[in-house]
Structure 1
C-alpha cells in the first residue's frame, strides 16, 4: 500500500488544482462586477483606478488568492510527477521569477480584455 502513496498524493494535488481553478472563476467574475464602469482619460489613471477597485474588493481578492494558490499547487505537483521529463529544480530563484512573469503576463492579458 505504501507504494501507492506518491500516486495518491499526486492525484489529490491535481484534483485540488482543478477545484482551485474551476471553482473560483465564477466568484472572480462576480467580484469584478462594476470594473467596466471605471472610466478615466489617461490609461495610467485608468489602470491604477481599476487595480485599486479590484484590490479593495474582498469578493474579488479571496477567490483570486485561491485561484493563484492552485497555480502553485499545480507547479509543485507537476514537478513531482512523471510528466516532468527534464527533472528540473522547482525551488530555484529562476523558477520563481518565471512564475512571477507568467502571473504578470496573465494579468496584462486579462486587463487588456476588460477594456
Structure 2
C-alpha cells in the first residue's frame, strides 16, 4: 500500500507543480492574427509556436508523465482512495509552486487549507490501511 500511495503522491507533485509552469509558459504565446490565412493554417501556426516553446512543452510533458503514472497506479489502488488523495494533494503542490513562482503571496488561509488537506488525506490513507490489515 505504501508503494501505491507514494506513486499517487508523485502524480500529485507532477500535476500540481506543472500546472503553474504550463500557465506561465503559455502566457508568452501570442495568438496569431493573420487574416489572409485559413483557420486551419492559423491553428497549425499556433501549435507550431506552442510546441517550440520549451517553457510550455517541458512542464506539459511532465504533466502527461503524471497522467501515465496515475493510469498505472489505478491498476493497484481503489479509485475511492486514488481520486481524493491525488486531487487534494495536487491543489497543495499547485499552491506551493504558485507561491514559489511569485504568482500569489502566501496567506494564512492558504497554510490552514494545506494543513486541513494533509490531515484529511492522512485520515483517508490511514482508514484504507486499517481496512487492508483486517482483510
Describe how 1:98-109 pairs up with structure 2 within 5 A. Answer: none
- RMSD over aligned CA atoms reads 1.6
Which of 46, 50, 54 is the equivalent residue of 2:42?
46
Matches within 5 A, 1:54-65: 54-65=50-61
Structure 1: which 5+ runs fail to align? 1-6, 85-115
In the alignment, which residue of structure 2 is the partner of 1:83? 79
Relative contact order higher in (CA < 8 Å, ≥ 6 apart)? 2
Deviation at residue 16 of structure 1 after TM alignment? 0.8
Q: Are positions 1:12 and 2:3 aligned together?
A: no
How many residue pairs match? The answer is 78
- 1:32 equivalent among 13, 26, 29: 26
Shift of the alpha carbon at 1:82? 2.8
State the TM-score, normalizing by the size of structure 2.
Answer: 0.53
Q: Which has the larger radius of gyration?
A: 2
| TM-score with structure 1 setting the length | 0.62
